[in-house]
Chains A and B, each alone.
Chain A
Amino acid sequence: MTHPLDVGKIRADFPILTRTVRDGKPLVYLDSGATSQRPRQVLDAERAFIEQHNAAVHRGAHQLAEEATDAYESARARIAAFVGVSQGELVFTKNATEGINLVSYALTNAASAGPESARFAVGPGDEIVITEMEHHANLVPWQQLCARTGATLRWFGVTDDGRLDLTDLDGLVTERTKLVALTHQSNVLGTVNPVPTVARRAREVGALTLVDACQSVPHGTVVSGRVDLAALGVDFAVFSGHKMLGPSGIGVLYGRRELLESMPPFLTGGSMIELVRMEGSTFAPPPQRFEAGVPMTSQAVGLAAAVDYLTVVGMDRVAEHEHALVTAALDRLSAIDGVRIIGPTAADARGSAVSFVVAGVHAHDVGQVLDDAGVAVRVGHHCAWPLHRRFGLAATVRATFYLYNTLDEVDALVEGVRRAQRFFGVDR
Chain B
Amino acid sequence: MKLEQLYQEIILDHYRNPHRRGLREPYDAEVHHVNPTCGDEVTLRVRLASNGSDATVEDVSYDALGCSISQAATSVLTDLVVGRTVQGSLSTLDSFLALMHGRGEVEPDENVLEDGVAFAGVARYPARVKCALLGWMAFKDAVARSVDAANLKGADAP
Q: Which residues of A contact B (CB under 8 A)?
A: 22-23, 362-365, 368-369, 372, 379-381, 385, 388, 394-395, 423-424
- Cβ A395 vs Cβ B3 within 8 A: no
Nearest CB on B from A88, distance (A): 39
Query: A385 vs B34: C-alpha distance in the bound complex, in angstroms?
Result: 12
Chain B residues whose C-beta falls within 8 Å of the C-beta of A385 in the assembled complex: 39
Q: Would you call B58 an interface residue if the criterion is a C-beta within 8 Å of the partner chain's C-beta atoms?
A: no
The answer, among B3, B6, B12, B39, for a CB contact under 8 Å with A380, is B39
Q: Which interface class (under 10, 10 to 19, 20 to 34, 35 or more) fits B? A: 10 to 19
- Option from A364, A369, A394, A423 in Cβ contact (under 8 Å) with B131: A364
Say whether B67 contacts A362, CB under 8 Å.
yes
B79 at the interface (CB under 8 A from A): no
Q: Specify which chain B residues have a CB less than 8 angstroms from the CB of A394 in the assembled complex.
A: 38-41, 65-66
Interface pairs (13), CB distance under 8 Å = A362-B66, A362-B67, A364-B66, A364-B128, A365-B7, A368-B128, A380-B37, A380-B39, A385-B39, A394-B41, A394-B66, A395-B38, A424-B12
| Interface presence of B68 (CB below 8 A) | yes
Chain A residues near B68 (CB-CB < 8 A):
362, 364-365, 424
A394 to B41, CA, bound (A): 9
Report B1-28 residues with CB < 8 Å from chain A CB.
1-3, 6-7, 12
User: Is B69 part of the contact surface with A, judged by Cβ < 8 Å?
Assistant: yes
> Cα distance A246–B41 when bound, in Å?
35
Known contacts A23-B1, A362-B66, A363-B67, A368 near B41 by CB under 8 Å: no
Q: Max chain A CB contacts within 10 Å: which of B7, B39, B131?
A: B39
Asked if A395 and B40 make an inter-chain contact with CB atoms under 8 angstroms apart, the answer reads yes
Q: For the complex, give the distance between the alpha carbons of A395 and B6 in Å.
A: 21
In the assembled complex, the Cα of A115 lies from the Cα of B125 at a distance in Å of: 56
Chain A residue nearest to B41 (CB atoms) is: A394
**A363 CA to B40 CA in the complex, in Å?**
11
A364 touches B69 (CB 8 A): yes
Contact with A along B56-88 (1 / 0, CB 8 A): 000000000111110000000000000000000
The listed residue (A362, A368, A379) touching B3 by CB distance below 8 A is: A368
Q: Say whether A364 contacts B37, CB under 8 Å.
A: no
